[in-house]
Amino acid sequence: MRRFAALFAALDGTTKTGAKTAALADYFRAAPEPDRVWTVALLTGRRPKRAVNSTELRLWAAEVAGIPDWLFEESYTVVGDLAETIALLLPPPATTADLTLDHAIRGLIALTGQPAEARKAAVLTAWAQLPATERFLYNKLLTGGFRMGVAQGLLTRALAQATGVEEATLAHRLMGNWDPARITFPALIAGDEGGDARPYPFALASQLEDGPQPLGPPQDWLAEWKWDGIRGQLIARPGAFALWSRGEELITDRFPDLAPLADFLPPGTVIDGEVLAWDAAAQRPHPFAQLQKRIGRKTVPKTLLAEAPARILAYDLLEDAGQDIRDQPLAHRRARLTQILAALPPGLPLAASPALAFPTWDALAETRATARAEGAEGVMLKRAASPYFQGRKRGDWWKWKLDPWTVDAVMLYAQAGHGRRANLYTDFTFGVRDGNEIVPFTKAYSGLTDAEFNEITRWVQKNTLERFGPVRKVPAELVFEIGFEGIQASPRHKSGIALRFPRMLRWRRDKGVDEIDTIDSLRALLTAAP
Amino acid sequence: MATPVLTFTDRGIYCPAGDFHIDPWRPVPRALITHGHSDHARWGMGAYLATDQALPVIRKRLGQITAEGIAYGETRRIGGAGVSFHPAGHVPGSAQIKVTVGGESWVVSGDYKTEPDGLAEGFQPVPCHAFISECTFGLPIFRWEPQPQVMQRILDWWQANAAAGKTSILGAYSFGKAQRLMAGLGVHGPILTHGAVEEMTQTLRDQGYALPPTIRVTPDVTAKTHPGALAIAPPSALGSAWSARLGPVEEAFVSGWMAVRGIRRRRALGTGFVLSDHADWQGLNDAIRATGASRVFVTHGYTAPFRHWLDSQGYDAGIVETQFGDEAEAESPPDPPLAE
Ligand SMILES: [Zn+2]
Ligand SMILES: [Zn+2]
């Protein structure tokens, strides 16, 4: 793992993409081939299943380090990462052995299902031999939490440099259902495995900040609702039917109600669309929370299938009769999509996401303002002539979201962040006024600058009223503007409401606690929400 | 009950028998100072007492002050108290201060480090009844590698940068850490310094500390005149116009905090070297045991868990709130970087 650790250190040690690409390309030229496959797997989110649960790891590590459990937990709170905490707490290795990444991962895979003593013995042996960085990475693999900040585009660029295969070809080959434990590096690069269910890389839109005026004439653009569901790619090829999420996760089995589509779509059809929980009576999507109930489950109970049936609203057609048509203009792809959908029998859970007509940008702005009533988050703008590109390319596709709802609230509790923000207070609980009391109603942890988090951290340290483990209660003094995308009644919360995507928009130093909003003003929004 | 040897007030640690304070943070008539870092040696005291070795830096920092020097190990009477200063191994001139009243001895550690660094006077355990210990790094996640290994890592990094045609810049506190680095690395080539570092270095050099020659960065010192050089600057100079002048550069921060990846990443500096002027977990435990003290007060760092730990080890342990560790030059958790 020494070479892999050196790669990790090189990637971790720079923010420059050029240096990252070079380090990766070097690695893909020189590392043992099985290690290269595992590295591609890890960088594309194909992590081995966790072999050991974190409770066991904590116990074993505290035992080896010779410290009580509470001291382990204090250390973990400061470090913010279990794998790193353990790597730091263990005594340095007496002897070091260099096992390959392939060897290490296969060893971990073999551990699943073994009795606890066998797993413990294997983990302790590895710990006793690995130097600091390798030990940290080994722990990351153990806990199934391996993440290395490498964008997909960067990975394919590095692989292209190392192998001479074109980037776009590689990007497609890396997607889908290949198994790192079985495939060889040459087979992976040549695209020999993965089968017909492989999706295309998703095209992503950029945020439109200043309105559409600078985009030029409205007739060059197509507009549609920006739905708040799961972006997905539906594959219907001979012998293969699959639904992929944007995170490249195969989610076909979560949506059995979509299965009939396999029988009706023409062979060789690939559709990009939004998976939604559909309210048939109202002819619009249910709020995201309904869909969320289904995401977490491997098998979906009948009641939920009836209550929140899935439906795909299709945005785009990527493959037509087995032909990759991503290079053709969007207007043409949409026209073909419409033809295909029109030929389907009625009653299937698939329809085109309607195109929004707009003679002028002002007209579109008016339409956009009604998005919430339609169950949408805003509108999408796509250049009619645009190809289906890979990843995020500024210029052709824009999302123009509604401004978030906002509320002024006061901080009540603070908790230290994790990872990069270890030992900075970044996770806050906020309250609004309810009569003479202040009731907690949401948590938020992003949206401020590092300098602001640093200042707040010092304030929290000086003003702590009480400590509950890693959480500190603070005086209700600091006021923040909280933005959110949606709101729902929630009997599980003391406040009776739950926000969607809450985040801090601003620290309102100009406001005091007497100026915060009330719970009643939030409840009033419940009726406005879909 | 008799008055304790030392009490804890809102001005700092106070000795009623001798009517003096140790490292006070508000003006008092008479202050005993452990070392020259700005969270310990503050402006505005009526009279200062510090080791002969610490005084030049303190004078340089505070300007015109009424101050007296004392030799390591020498005992003086102040009122009803006997006081003596003993090496703390933290930075040149740093001391632990022992105060004895009526046969009972208390020791204030100031900041300390148990590993010899080849520059600061080496730490000596001082037997006492009560020990007031810093615990900046009082968690078992902090375990320092021996200094020679860290120096070798820095040297490898420097040489790799030089081979790539880059200047290496180390961010390090200008008094203590900076000189420790140059003492460890100076034999491998000339070292460039930021003005703030050079002033402290010259003060220590004038005292006779063995420091290698250094070159202060002036407008005519550039990457062209000194290719592949190593420069030492205060952490605030990293990523600034000052370092851009020496470009292309690679920068690294040298601090005990660099042991934690999250903190390293927050600095937006890829590279961090773990080298501290404070004791690590083992060092703190060893130092406390070596005093033979049964009462321990902890300050400056992870006080709550460290006190809990000492309790579980059979000590009568307490926490003292101080304002040490607040100043930029002390080794407190580094501020976030200039940019993400
Ligand atoms: Zn200090
Ligand atoms: Zn200090």
CATH of residue A350:
3.30.470.30
One domain for residues B14 and B130: yes
Q: Which ligand has its closest atom nearest to the C-alpha of B135?
A: 2
Question: pLDDT tens, B160-203?
Answer: 999 999 999 999 999 999 999 999 999 998 899 999 999 999 99
Q: What is the pLDDT of residue A52?
A: 86
One domain for residues B305 and B221: no
Q: What is the pLDDT of residue B268?
A: 53
Instruction: Between B178 and A286, name the one with better pLDDT.
Output: B178
- What does the alpha-carbon distance between residue B264 and residue B255 come to, in Å, rounded to a whole number? 10
Report chain B residues whose CB lies below 8 A from the CB of A15.
268, 270
In this structure, what token pair is assigned to residue A299?
């098998």
Mean pLDDT, all residues of chain B? 91
CB A78 within 8 A of CB B302: yes
Q: What is the pLDDT of residue A193?
A: 53
Q: Is residue B231 part of a domain?
A: yes
Residue A530 has pLDDT above 60, yes or no: no
Mutate to test the interface with A, among B136, B139, B284 (most CBs of A within 10 A): B139
Q: Containing domain of residue A319, as a range?
A: 211-354
Question: pLDDT tens, A340-372?
Answer: 999 999 889 999 999 999 999 999 999 998 888
Q: What is the pLDDT of residue B210?
A: 94
Question: In this complex, is the C-beta atom of B261 within 8 Å of any C-beta atom belonging to chain A?
Answer: yes
One domain for residues A326 and A414: no
Q: Is residue B2 part of a domain?
A: no
CATH number at residue B24: 3.60.15.10
Question: pLDDT tens, B126-168?
Answer: 999 999 999 999 999 999 999 999 999 999 999 999 999 999 9
One domain for residues B65 and B80: yes
Residue A192 has pLDDT above 70, yes or no: no
Highest mean pLDDT range out of A209-223, A466-480, A488-502? A209-223
Instruction: Between A359 and A292, name the one with better pLDDT.
Output: A359
CB–CB of A84 and B139 under 8 A? no
The CA distance from A7 to the nearest CA of chain B, in Å, is 13
The CA distance from A74 to the nearest CA of chain B, in Å, is 7
Q: What is the pLDDT of residue B337?
A: 26
- What does the alpha-carbon distance between residue B85 and residue B107 come to, in Å, rounded to a whole number? 9
- What does the alpha-carbon distance between residue A239 and residue A196 come to, in Å, rounded to a whole number? 8
Backbone angles phi, psi at A39, to 5 degrees: -65, -45
One domain for residues B131 and B23: yes
Q: Which of A44-53, B144-153, B275-284 has the lowest mean pLDDT?
A: A44-53
- What does the alpha-carbon distance between residue B297 and residue B303 come to, in Å, rounded to a whole number? 9
Mutate to test the interface with B, among A64, A450, A455, A457 (most CBs of B within 10 A): A450
Q: Is residue B339 part of a domain?
A: no
One domain for residues B174 and B154: yes
Q: What is the pLDDT of residue B326?
A: 44
Q: What is the pLDDT of residue A306?
A: 83
Q: What is the pLDDT of residue B193?
A: 97
Highest mean pLDDT range out of A43-52, A88-97, B63-72? B63-72
In this structure, the strands spanning A240-245 and B75-78 are unpaired
CB–CB of B266 and A80 under 8 A? no
Q: Is residue A373 part of a domain?
A: no
CATH number at residue B196: 3.40.50.10710
Residue A197 has pLDDT above 90, yes or no: no
Distance B108 CA to ligand 1 centre (A): 13
In this structure, what token pair is assigned to residue B38?
């700005």
Number of other residues whose CB lies within 10 A of the CB of residue A290: 18
Q: Which of A164-178, A440-454, B56-70, B290-304 has the lowest mean pLDDT?
A: A164-178
Please tell me the total count of domains within chain B.
Answer: 2
Which letter, b or e, does each residue of A420-429 get, where b requires 16 or more Cβ atoms within 10 Å of its Cβ? Answer: bbbbbbbbbb
**Average pLDDT of the residues in B48-55:** 98
Residue B309 half-sphere exposure, CB side, CA atoms within 13 Å? 25
Distance A74 CA to ligand 1 centre (A): 25
One domain for residues A344 and A233: yes
ipTM of the complex: 0.91
Instruction: Between B117 and A377, name the one with better pLDDT.
Output: B117
Res. B330 pLDDT band, cuts 50 70 90 = very low
Q: Is residue A381 part of a domain?
A: no
Task: Kindly state the percentage of chain B with pLDDT values over 70.
Answer: 93
- What does the alpha-carbon distance between residue A457 and residue A455 come to, in Å, rounded to a whole number? 5
Number of other residues whose CB lies within 10 A of the CB of residue B338: 13
Number of other residues whose CB lies within 10 A of the CB of residue A292: 13
In this structure, what token pair is assigned to residue B136?
């900046």
CB A353 within 8 A of CB A225: yes
Report chain B residues whose CB lies below 8 A from the CB of A63.
none
Residue B327 has pLDDT above 80, yes or no: no
In this structure, what token pair is assigned to residue B25?
């943070």
Q: What is the pLDDT of residue A189?
A: 87
One domain for residues B125 and B247: no
Point out the domain boundary residue: B273, B297, B322: B273
Q: Is residue A124 part of a domain?
A: no
Q: Is residue A108 part of a domain?
A: no
Which run of H or of E encompasses A12?
Answer: helix A2-12
- What does the alpha-carbon distance between residue A120 and residue A115 come to, in Å, rounded to a whole number? 9
Q: Is residue B338 part of a domain?
A: no
Q: Dihedral sign for Cα A464, A465, A467, A471, please.
A: negative
Q: What is the pLDDT of residue B328?
A: 35
Q: Which ligand has its closest atom nearest to the C-alpha of B277?
A: 1
Res. A304 pLDDT band, cuts 50 70 90 = confident
CB–CB of A75 and B139 under 8 A? yes
Residue B1 has pLDDT above 70, yes or no: no
Task: Kindly state the percentage of chain A with pLDDT values over 90.
Answer: 45
Task: Kindly state the percentage of chain A with pLDDT values over 70.
Answer: 97
Residue B134 half-sphere exposure, CB side, CA atoms within 13 Å? 29
Point out the domain boundary residue: A327, A354, A381: A354
Number of other residues whose CB lies within 10 A of the CB of residue A35: 23
One domain for residues A424 and A319: no
C-alpha torsion B266→B268→B272→B276, nearest 10: -50
Please tell me the total count of domains within chain A.
Answer: 2
Distance A422 CA to ligand 1 centre (A): 24
Residue B340 has pLDDT above 70, yes or no: no
Point out the domain boundary residue: B242, B273, B304: B273
Residue A409 has pLDDT above 60, yes or no: yes
Question: pLDDT tens, A123-176?
Answer: 999 999 998 889 999 999 988 777 777 888 889 999 999 999 888 788 878 877
The CA distance from B115 to the nearest CA of chain A, in Å, is 18
Distance A511 CA to ligand 1 centre (A): 38
Q: Is residue B337 part of a domain?
A: no
Mean pLDDT, all residues of chain A? 88
One domain for residues B67 and B123: yes
Q: What is the pLDDT of residue A491?
A: 77
One domain for residues A287 and A346: yes
Q: Is residue A278 part of a domain?
A: yes
Mutate to test the interface with A, among B136, B166, B261 (most CBs of A within 10 A): B261
First to last CA, chain A: 52
One domain for residues B286 and B245: no
Residue A194 has pLDDT above 60, yes or no: no
Q: Is residue A328 part of a domain?
A: yes
- What does the alpha-carbon distance between residue A381 and residue A365 come to, in Å, rounded to a whole number? 12
CB A114 within 8 A of CB B338: no
Q: Is residue B294 part of a domain?
A: yes
Residue A96 has pLDDT above 90, yes or no: no
One domain for residues A435 and A324: no
Q: Is residue A119 part of a domain?
A: no
Contacts of range A281-286, beta carbons closer than 8 Å, 24 or more positions apart: A284/A374, A284/A375, A284/A530, A285/A227, A285/A228, A285/A229, A285/A311, A285/A375, A285/A376, A286/A375
Number of other residues whose CB lies within 10 A of the CB of residue B165: 10
Q: Is residue B340 part of a domain?
A: no
Q: What is the pLDDT of residue A191?
A: 75
Q: What is the pLDDT of residue A150?
A: 83
Tokens 């106070």 -> residue = B14
Q: Containing domain of residue B136, as a range?
A: 7-142+277-330
One domain for residues A423 and A521: yes
CB A445 within 8 A of CB A428: yes
One domain for residues A215 and A350: yes
- What does the alpha-carbon distance between residue A138 and residue B22 come to, in Å, rounded to a whole number? 47
One domain for residues A233 and A318: yes
CATH number at residue A520: 2.40.50.140
From the list A67, A68, A79, the residue facing B260 with the nearest CB is A79
One domain for residues B197 and B133: no
Residue B338 has pLDDT above 70, yes or no: no
> With a CB-CB cutoff of 8 Å, which residues 302-321 of chain B face chain A?
302, 304-305, 308-309, 312
The CA distance from B35 to the nearest CA of chain A, in Å, is 25
Question: pLDDT tens, A411-430?
Answer: 999 988 766 666 788 899 99
**Average pLDDT of the residues in A314-339:** 95
One domain for residues B115 and B213: no
One domain for residues A453 and A343: no
CB B221 within 8 A of CB B215: yes
Res. B247 pLDDT band, cuts 50 70 90 = confident
Question: pLDDT tens, A239-276?
Answer: 788 898 887 777 887 888 898 898 899 989 999 999 99
Q: Is residue B44 part of a domain?
A: yes
CB A431 within 8 A of CB A438: yes
One domain for residues B222 and B261: yes
One domain for residues B268 and B312: no
One domain for residues A248 and A312: yes
CB–CB of A423 and B271 under 8 A? no
Instruction: Between A481 and A151, name the one with better pLDDT.
Output: A481
Distance B112 CA to ligand 1 centre (A): 8
CB–CB of B266 and A421 under 8 A? yes
Q: Is residue A315 part of a domain?
A: yes
